[in-house]
Amino acid sequence: MTPKPITTAHLDGTAKQAMEAGRNRLLVAGALFAVTFTAIAFRLADVTVVKPAGEPAIAAVTGSPAFTAGRADIVDRNGVVLATSLNTASLYANPHHVLDPREAADRLHQVLPELRPAELMGKLASERSFVWIKRHLTPRQHYAINRLGIPGLYFQREERRVYPQGPLFSHLLGFAGTDGIGLTGVEKKFNGSLGAGSKPLVLSVDTRLQHILHEELTAATARFRAEGACGLVMDTTTGEVLAMVSLPDFDPNAPERSPDESRFNRATLGVYEMGSTFKIFTTAMALDSGTVGMTGGFDASRPLKVARFSITDFHGKNRWLSVPEIFMYSSNIGTAKMAMAMGTRGQRDYLGRLGLLRPAGIEVPEVGAPLVPSPWREINTITISYGHGLAVSPVQVAQAVGSVVNGGILRQATLLKPLKGERPKGKQVLKAHTSQSMRRLLRLVVTGGTGRQGDAEGYLVGGKTGTAEKTGGRGYREKALVSSFVGAFPINAPRYVLLAVVDEPHGNKQTMGYATGGWVAAPVVSRFISRAGPLLGIAPVDEESDEVRRALEIKIPTAARGKRGRTLASF
């Protein structure tokens, strides 16, 4: 008997164990479920009551309107629109839907008088199912045609690049083709960003100054029956180009209507032998390197003979000339001797530093590379000293002259307006003291030398004339000139550099047959400055005041070295 209870107890033990295990499992499962459900409950409360996710309390504005007209605008420094894209309506017809071609043609002719009724008739009665009637309607024409209510006429929206200023900025802006791709000028250079962005591209140019320069150059071209002309205005403190004109020009709204020659940008792509304008650089480098001082000079009494060449002076004085006199009378002999004293290497180094041996970095694709002599012999050194034998683009000249007058800092000419507070860093290429002396010399040319017609009362112009014979076929052609004037103002603290180049001018009665830089290009600069001075915010100064005299006075040793010269107040 005894074993049984044991067995039972044993059995009881197993059953109890099973029960225990079952209860435990139930408890664990129950606890898990309880935890899970509690978690779900909390989460539910959390997402629905505490912080509703998904649905924001205030709906975000969806699809806020932003009008884009395709290609971005181009504006000038003051925000004047220079190029913009307009959505225009183009009229086409489906002749199958036109009920009465004759009546439709007659009524259309009233709105679009430039289309001949017979031609319209033919189009509207044709067997095709699509004919263009007129591309790019004006909004007024669009409205009028809509009002006619002729069945079978439809409109197609198209984008069109419009240049509201017409031919004023032709070479600078360039133009975009019908497919909206920039083909020349700024339109080509910035094609990517213009096509992608909606923010306007801000250029450094000023429409008002561009207009004045354009008008004065056009007048000079007509007066001297010139082949073309170009000019540019640059801010020497930043390198910004404020105006840049090349003539003849074209209307970028319809470039196909102008001859191909008119597309040529003389200001950036054309390279010219600048003539005496280059004496600025020769004199500056001679002073800067210490080759000669302001009181030094050279004998210019006899023509200079080098190899088979003979160098003579246009305004010959036939005596010893001091540096200021050489510059003032634009003496080739004196300048050539100055360059010979410099040496070929020194000259090439300085010209390189002034950016005259490499293409300008201006933001148009049409940039001309300078024509540099190779090999660079002594005769090249001599001719380059007075601007023959090295052809450079007008932009390069303006840039380099900017560095000569602004304290010796070369700043690359740019067409983009720098961001506020940003000032492009330049490179010191000349000593500040050299720049000081050069200002006096440039003023002297205008007060007493070859550039008298470049003066503008009150604005203290300093400058240098240049007249070069154009190379043609073999050697130089005497009658084909490139006349130029480069000016800086106000010369006591130069801010603006202005270059005018007239290509192949012909002298007339008023100029007594002369077509030199002093007669042709200097008046352009003078008139531009008198008209633009007030716009640029430059207060005219009293040229007789002590302050001005002190800043620009110059001592000209006349006879021989060491002898006391007369002091010439240059104002």
Partner 1 sequence: MRGRLTLFWILLAAAVGFGLFHVKYKVQALEDDLRTLNAAITDEQEQLHVLAAEWAHLNRPGRLEALAQRHLDLQPTGVRQIGTIETISFPAPPETLARQSEKAAR
- Return the active site residues: 276
Q: Does 369 bind partner 1 (CB under 8 A)?
A: no
CB of 114 to partner 1, least distance (A): 20
Cβ pair 431, 488 in contact under 8 A: no
Handedness of CA 111, 114, 118, 119 (dihedral sign): negative
Closest by CA position to 230, among listed 251, 213, 253, 206: 213
**Distance in angstroms (rounded) separating the CA atoms of residues 304 and 439:** 28
64 binds partner 1 (CB under 8 A): yes
**Separation CA 467–CA 454 (nearest Å):** 14
Minimal distance, residue 495 CB to partner 1, in Å? 17
> Given the complex with partner 1, which of 311 and 460 has the nearer CB atom?
460
For residue 483, state whether it binds partner 1 (rule: CB under 8 A).
Answer: no
Which residues are CB-neighbours of 219 under 8 A, at least 6 positions away? 524
Q: Is residue 168 a contact point for partner 1 (CB under 8 A)?
A: yes
Contact 461, 494 (CB under 8 A): no
> Quick check: 251 binds partner 1 (CB under 8 A)?
no
241-247: strand order across its sheet:
241-247, 228-235, 496-503, 476-489, 462-471
Residues in Cβ contact with 281 at an 8 Å cutoff, skipping those fewer than 6 apart: 350, 351, 354, 356, 400, 404
Q: How many residues bind partner 1 (CB under 8 A)?
A: 33
By the rule CB under 8 A, 246 interacts with partner 1:
no
The distance of closest approach from Cβ of residue 568 to partner 1 in the complex, given in angstroms and rounded to an integer, is 24
Q: Given candidates 190, 459, 489, 519, which one binds partner 1 under the rule CB under 8 A?
A: 459
Quick note: the x/- pattern for partner 1 over 34-63, rule CB under 8 A, is ---------------------------x-x
Phi, psi of 63 (to 5 degrees): 60, 45
Q: Return the closest-CA partner of residue 277 out of 38, 442, 510.
A: 442
Q: From residue 271 to residue 300, what is the string marking binding to partner 1 with x (rule CB under 8 A)?
A: ------------------------------
Interface residue with partner 1, options 165, 191, 381, 467 (CB under 8 A): 165
Residue 465, classed as helix, strand or coil, is: strand
Closer CB to partner 1, residue 63 or residue 259?
63
Q: Are 167 and 107 in contact (CB under 8 A)?
A: no
Does position 106 bind partner 1 by CB under 8 A?
no
Which lies closer to partner 1 via its Cβ, residue 86 or residue 121? 86
Nearest to 174 by CA among 192, 190, 188: 188
Per-residue contact string for residues 65-104; x = within reach of partner 1 by CB under 8 A: xxx-x----------xxx-x-xx-----------------
CB of 534 to partner 1, least distance (A): 5
Angle, alpha carbons 99-104-109 (nearest 5°) = 170
**Closest distance of CB 71 from partner 1, Å:** 12
Identified binder of partner 1 from the candidate list 359, 458, 507, 565, rule CB under 8 A: 458
Q: Which is nearer to partner 1, 141 or 295 (CB)?
A: 141
Indicate the SS3 state at residue 137.
strand
User: Which residue of 77, 109, 208, 452 would you call a contact of partner 1, by CB under 8 A?
Assistant: 208
List the alpha helices (DSSP H) in 329-369: 332-342, 344-353
Residues with Cβ within 8 Å of 426's Cβ and at least 6 positions away in sequence, in order, are 239, 403, 409, 410, 411
Give me the least distance between CB of 366 and partner 1, in Å please.
24
Query: 5, 22, 52, 139: which one contacts partner 1 (CB under 8 A)?
Result: 139
- Give dist(CA 264, CA 247) in Å, integer: 9
Interface characters, 403-442, with partner 1 (x: CB under 8 A): ----------------------------------------
Identify the residue among 540, 555, 558, 568 touching partner 1 (CB under 8 A). 540
The distance of closest approach from Cβ of residue 139 to partner 1 in the complex, given in angstroms and rounded to an integer, is 7
Stretch that binds partner 1, among 224-232, 257-265, 453-461, 517-525 (CB under 8 A): 453-461
Least distance (Å) between residue 93 CB and partner 1: 25
Instruction: Answer for the pair 385, 278: CB distance below 8 angstroms, yes or no.
Output: yes
Q: Residue 378 contacts by C-beta under 8 Å, 6 or more apart in sequence?
A: 306, 340, 344
Q: Does 170 bind partner 1 (CB under 8 A)?
A: no
Closer to partner 1 by CB, 91 or 243: give it.
Answer: 243
Amino acid at 372: V
At its nearest, how many Å lie between partner 1 and the CB of residue 113? 21
479 neighbors 538 (Cβ within 8 angstroms): no
- Which of 12, 46, 119, 457 is in the footprint of partner 1 by CB under 8 A? 457
Helix axes 279-289, 332-342, angle to 10 degrees: 40
| Residues in touch with partner 1 (CB under 8 A) | 61, 63-67, 69, 80-82, 84, 86-87, 139, 162, 164-166, 168, 207-208, 211-212, 215, 457-459, 530-531, 533-534, 539-540
